[in-house]
Structure 1
Amino acid sequence: MSAIPSRLSVVTLGVRDMGLLRSFYHALGWPEQPSGDDDWSAFLLGGVLLALSPLPELAAEAAPGVADPAGGWSGVTLACNVDDRADVDTAFAAAVAAGATVVAEPTDRPWGGRSAYIADPEGNRWEIAWAGTAVFDERGSLVSFG
């Protein structure tokens, strides 16, 4: 075993408006962890925790002395892979109905899958994707990808 296990356990977003982002993820129907409040919140998504932390507090730990980002796209995307090609369109519509901003409409991609992009209320980019090679377990955790 390596000193650092090959796993992704938590993705933390530094947020400016905790109430807004919590409401958005609730509107997607994602279950919030019982300890969630406006000081810290999290959603367990298929074996990975999506954590929300106030940006100043996260920056103090992860980027001490570095200026806060100005906003906009960070250069990072998060992805939610769905089970079927048609599910991309359904999930995309649900995200937009929950308050997401359209970045790119659902389309078939040159790599053989289908995907769309949305932004949450703070501009974090999410890809909603279907890839025929993705295999999930009963919890929705990705177990292989090609």
Structure 2
Amino acid sequence: MVPARLSVVTLAAGSVGELRAFYGRLGWPEVPGSGDRWAGFLLGGAVLALYPEQSLAAEAAPGETAGAWRGVTLAINVDSRAAVDEAYASALDAGARAVAEPQERPWGGRSAYFADPEGNRWEIAYAAVAELGPRGEVVGFG
């Protein structure tokens, strides 16, 4: 089963540093570990993440032509590495299109990507730094 939750919205950033500064000026609290290569802001139970455009495209749209992907991913954080694989298989069984098989990521977690029928990218991720509450909401990050 794919959990019914939204944990992270990731924006593909041309300049993580510039976007980070902008959201900082809004007064949004950064999560620990934020920097100019990746930044996150805890927003009422979910995380807004900023990730370099090229790096995010390599994960969420491997092999696709420029412009075919919208530059935004929605993430469902799960409690274990095994849960990534289970939820990914459930998504494919429900009619999702495979984008990136479950795999270990350079940032230390495990994730997979699928696309819904209109091409929106969903990531199923396990990240040890994501602290989830009883409803799957993000209560801490980092």
TM-score with structure 2 setting the length: 0.54
Is the aligned partner of 1:126 residue 2:122?
A: yes
Segments of 4+ moved more than 6 angstroms: none
Is the aligned partner of 1:145 residue 2:141?
A: yes
Shift of 1:28: 5.2
Shift of 1:140: 1.2
| CA spacing shift, 1:115–1:103, aligned 2, 3 Å | same
| CA spacing shift, 1:94–1:45, aligned 2, 3 Å | same
Give SS of 2:89's match. Answer: helix
Shift of 1:29: 7.3
How many positions carry a matched residue from both structures? Answer: 85
Counterpart position of 1:76: 72
| CA spacing shift, 1:45–1:103, aligned 2, 3 Å | closer
Counterpart position of 2:100: 104
Give the gaps of 5 or more residues in structure 1: 1-26, 31-43, 49-70
Question: 1:28–1:98: 8 Å Cα contact kept in structure 2?
Answer: no
Q: Residues 1-146 of structure 1 correspond to what in structure 2 (within 5 A)?
A: 30=4, 72-146=68-142
Question: 1:107–1:116: 8 Å Cα contact kept in structure 2?
Answer: yes
- Separation in 2, partners of 1:79, 1:137: 16
Rg: which structure is higher? Answer: 1
The higher relative CO (CA closer than 8 Å, separation ≥ 6) is in: 2
Give SS of 1:77's match. Answer: strand
